[in-house]
Chains A and B, each alone.
Chain A
Amino acid sequence: MASSNQKCGCGNSSELVPLQLKVPIDECGCQTTGGIPIQASTRYIIGDIKTKVGAFPQITSHLDWKDYLGAFKVRWGIRRDRYRVAPGLYAVGTPTERSDVFVTANYKLSFDLVRKNLKGMNSWLLVLDTKGVNVWCAAGKGTFGTKELVRRIQLTSLDKIVIHRRLILPQLGATGVAAHLVKEATGFTVIYGPVRAMDIPEFVQASYKASKEMRRVNFDWYDRLKLIPNDIIYNLRYLLSMLFVISVLSGINLNGYSIQQVLRNIIPIAKIIASGYFSGLVLTPLFLPYIPTQNFSFKGLMVGAIVSVLLFLNHSLDGNILAQFAEIFFISSFSSFLAMNFTGASTYTSLAGVKKEMRIAVPVQIILAAFAIIIFVLELTI
């Protein structure tokens, strides 16, 4: 069926797609990873490299504007769950049986970063099926793990393609991969490389030694900034459900219920919710290290309180004094909740720590929000 082929975009590239032939094929003949079609375009494949066990796709190290546009889009959460490449073995440059083997995830953003930084090095790139998730998160979930690595080594017959027995893994893959078990199962020695792909050339030059700096995970302002767009999109569910619930409540009055009243209130309510959203999702992450306390929810609470009090002093809050108090409570509570959720995006919070924080933070957030909503409804009816 030509039409369905075009739909998944792999119609005319059949001779160029990865040749491991172990990738699941769906009914229209498209390669898939876990039921979701891989990115329609395989522009990064520029040829193939013959080996004893067959040909493998050769990829370019050059990223073009479409790759950068794709990266920008996934940062905004657009079709992010589909930003995948087919798992398997790829060739960068013209690798031989002595060339290094690098390992990465099949999230295209990860794949792109690695191939870009392998420029000029003839090497193999083994892409694991992590369901389109980046190395670190996938390692946490176990999909970038010992089992998948061992399976992928066997599927590609890697032991017949290279004569050495070394694999270079991103250090953050260590959360999911046990080097000693990989060695036991396949004979391959895992070398943990740098955290960031950009350090690969330096790592190789330094005879495969990762310096302290290469091994350390940072979380500077640019790292945090990159995460904000996706958080804004991902948390829209909270924003919209809050807007819906509070708008519906805002119709209550002494005579029962008024739709007009809802329509009148909806813009002021949206303003309040947006203020909490901005405080917890943009301001708190950006200024994270500069806000006192280690507690994310408390950081968010403080930023929300400051923003709402500034709005209050600027006479930007709506309603009478009682309603304005409710609004301050609400903005602080919502900001606190969203900032608490940023723990998952951060690179240094422990599970035990987050649990400790939540035992106090969640009740406080619920009490503040409930208080705000009760005052708000009372104020409408009195």
Chain B
Amino acid sequence: MERLRYFSEVVTLQLIQEKCNNCGMCVKVCPHEVFELKNKKVYLTGHDFCMECGACKRNCPHGAILLDVGDGCGCAAGIIQGAFNGTTPTCGGPNEITCCN
């Protein structure tokens, strides 16, 4: 199956090579194969497939990943909800009744 792709060159993901010790944790947790482990070295090869879920950043023990993460997904309804509440993008209403159970 062809991989679904969103816009090019907008994603905030960055890999700081100097901090990376190539443990490969980001490769394991990424749902879109954004990272690749080649010859015991981690490369950021699928930048445009990143959905900014934040799994790699959260699990990087060395702080080698830079990324702006919201609630883990790009959701227009969440951005609108956040704009109404005057907060950052958020999912879920006042009673934690969410659209994304």
A residues adjacent to B (C-beta < 8 A)? 34, 74, 80-81, 83, 107, 109, 131-134, 136-137, 139-141, 171-172, 174-180, 192, 195, 210, 212, 215-220, 230, 234, 288-289, 294-297, 340-341, 343-358
Contacts and interface: CB of A to CB of B under 8 A. Distances in A.
**Most central of A134, A347, A353 by chain B CB within 10 Å:** A353
The 9 closest A-B pairs by CB, nearest first: A140-B72, A344-B75, A174-B29, A349-B74, A174-B55, A354-B74, A217-B31, A350-B52, A180-B61
Interface residues of B, number: 48
A107 B58 contact: no
A233 to B, nearest CB: 10
Given A220-B1, A348-B4, A353-B74, 16 more contacts: A80-B101, A132-B101, A140-B71, A140-B72, A172-B31, A174-B55, A175-B55, A177-B58, A210-B28, A289-B2, A295-B7, A341-B75, A345-B99, A353-B6, A354-B79, A355-B79
B76 A358 contact: yes
B49 A81 contact: no
Main secondary structure of the interface of A (DSSP, over half): helix
Main secondary structure of the interface of B (DSSP, over half): loop
B1 A347 contact: no
Contacts of A343: 74-76
B11 to A, nearest CB: 5
Contacts of B66: none
A353 B49 CA distance: 11
A215 B36 CA distance: 13
Given A174-B59, A289-B4, A294-B6, A134 B72 contact: no
Contact of A352 (B32, B74, B95): B74
A363 to B, nearest CB: 14
Interface string B43-87: 000000111111100110100000011111111111100000000
19 contacts: A133-B96, A133-B101, A175-B58, A192-B28, A195-B31, A215-B28, A216-B31, A218-B1, A289-B4, A294-B5, A341-B75, A341-B77, A344-B75, A347-B4, A351-B74, A351-B79, A352-B68, A357-B76, A358-B79
A351 B7 contact: no
B84 to A, nearest CB: 13
A208 to B, nearest CB: 11
Interface string B1-45: 110111100111000000000000100111111000000000000
Given A294-B6, A351-B52, A351-B89, A178 B58 contact: yes
B74 A171 contact: no
A174 B6 contact: no
Nearest to A83: B101
Contact of A351 (B25, B58, B73, B77): B73
A340 B79 CA distance: 11
**Most central of B1, B25, B30, B55 by chain A CB within 10 Å:** B55
A215 B31 contact: yes
